[in-house]
Homo-oligomer: A and B are copies of this chain.
């Protein structure tokens, strides 16, 4: 990955300073004082998202409160040709919310209202800045919840979830954001409002809702989201299975699915991840295991009891050294706490880490883990593995020290190799974290030039001037042809033939 230089703040560039002064004057005509941030210390918190190796100060930050204010901001920027980057909570991991040095950072942080809950239709209409977990908290009195649960769910917003098509532990059974959002209201770069989707199973016209979800802020700004809610299952129960080696654990994942079970969650952690999580949150994990599986079953009491017994037998027959059922709700929560805290836990073991997000066909798990271990040796960098095993979504965490010369560059190269390995076995370069600025080179490996130019045409159909979140998501043809000419690069392949 070629990193863009961490540019000096725009405050030193006379052209940008003039452009900014003009823009600020216009913005203040319709935005209150506290909704336009221009001082370096005010805009500093917006310089990066969760991919903190990349930092860039924006020209300025706006914090509108109403949809009309968002429209006016976008119309103004559209008229002036000023780039706009929208931002939720900034928990994204692929640099999708990295500001443009000559652009406006549009924060949706003030859109925090839950507008409407319809317990009969099982829907909630919320503003984009509402936190993922806040939705489930608000609808709990109705016995409902919102299923997609990214690890960052305590902080990340539904608007950001829409941008990234976020998943989480539960998405194996309940789907990604795209499967749990019924409708969104967006503002296009020229300030128009579009309603995408609706409550019906299908709608006429092109399916712009699915197109928009996961489009990483390149097509429009989400200003309202209608989510589908699910009844809280009567019972949820978690199993923890320990293994002497990673391959046997990976094999068990396939066994469970092949036997017809769709667990509410099916997660895997390898030795380094287990150790780190255990040291951090004391989840009660067996620290001598080479791998553990966490398997959650939910449904009616009877369903869960039956499945629990069957899955337990299957895991023991498949080589688990130990299978533990959470004794009570507190222990179930602890099992998951370890998993959800795995990233920060690993963060404590190493000065820095780099979290990857590839997806592979489940049956290739053992092979990809072996190859990842070989690459880890080759690059001399430790890799811990935490992943949504059930749907083949891997999160290898590469440990490095940014203070060592070239360690970041080596980590990034190793990360790129792992993603290209995912493509080679028929997988994809991102499961749920998006492309952002991080995976632009790998997009050139995942897609053919024809496919990439079709993506570019879609972008043009929404944002002809390319002002929304420029430089993210879709690589330029030039960037791809340069990347493909680098030594040792794989030749471009089309999406995996099914």
Please report A residues at the B interface, Cβ cutoff 8 Å. Answer: 120-121, 123, 125, 165, 167, 171-172, 175-176, 178, 182-183, 188, 192-208, 210-211, 213-215, 219, 226, 231, 258, 260, 303, 359-361, 363, 391-393, 426-432, 434-435, 439, 443, 446-448, 450-452, 454-455, 457-458, 460-462, 473-474, 494-498
Contacts and interface: CB of A to CB of B under 8 A. Distances in A.
A191 to B, nearest CB: 10
A448 to B, nearest CB: 8
A303 B307 CA distance: 13
The 5 closest A-B pairs by CB, nearest first: A210-B210, A457-B461, A226-B498, A195-B495, A461-B461
Nearest to A231: B260
Contacts of A219: 206
Contacts of A447: 205
B494 A204 contact: no
Nearest to A219: B206
Contact of A363 (B120, B171, B363, B434): B120
B205 A455 contact: yes
A473 to B, nearest CB: 8
A175 to B, nearest CB: 8
Residue with the highest number of chain B CB atoms closer than 10 Å, among A202, A430, A439, A461: A202
A231 B202 CA distance: 24
A393 B203 CA distance: 11
Given A207-B214, A450-B194, A359 B428 contact: no
A226 B426 CA distance: 14
B363 A498 contact: no
B211 A211 contact: yes
A239 to B, nearest CB: 20
A308 B219 CA distance: 47
A393 B210 contact: no
Contacts of A452: 205
Given A195-B495, A198-B498, A208-B455, 11 more contacts: A176-B201, A194-B450, A194-B451, A195-B451, A201-B393, A202-B430, A205-B446, A205-B451, A206-B219, A226-B498, A303-B303
Contacts of A432: 202
A200 B450 contact: no
A455 B473 CA distance: 22
Nearest to A258: B120
Given A450-B192, A454-B461, A391 B201 contact: yes
A449 to B, nearest CB: 9
Nearest to A205: B455
A426 B392 CA distance: 39
Contact of A208 (B172, B203, B211, B462): B211
Given A194-B451, A495-B195, A498-B226, A439 B208 contact: no
Contact of A123 (B202, B215, B451, B498): B498
Contacts of A359: 200-202
Contacts of A197: 495
Residue with the highest number of chain B CB atoms closer than 10 Å, among A203, A231, A435: A203
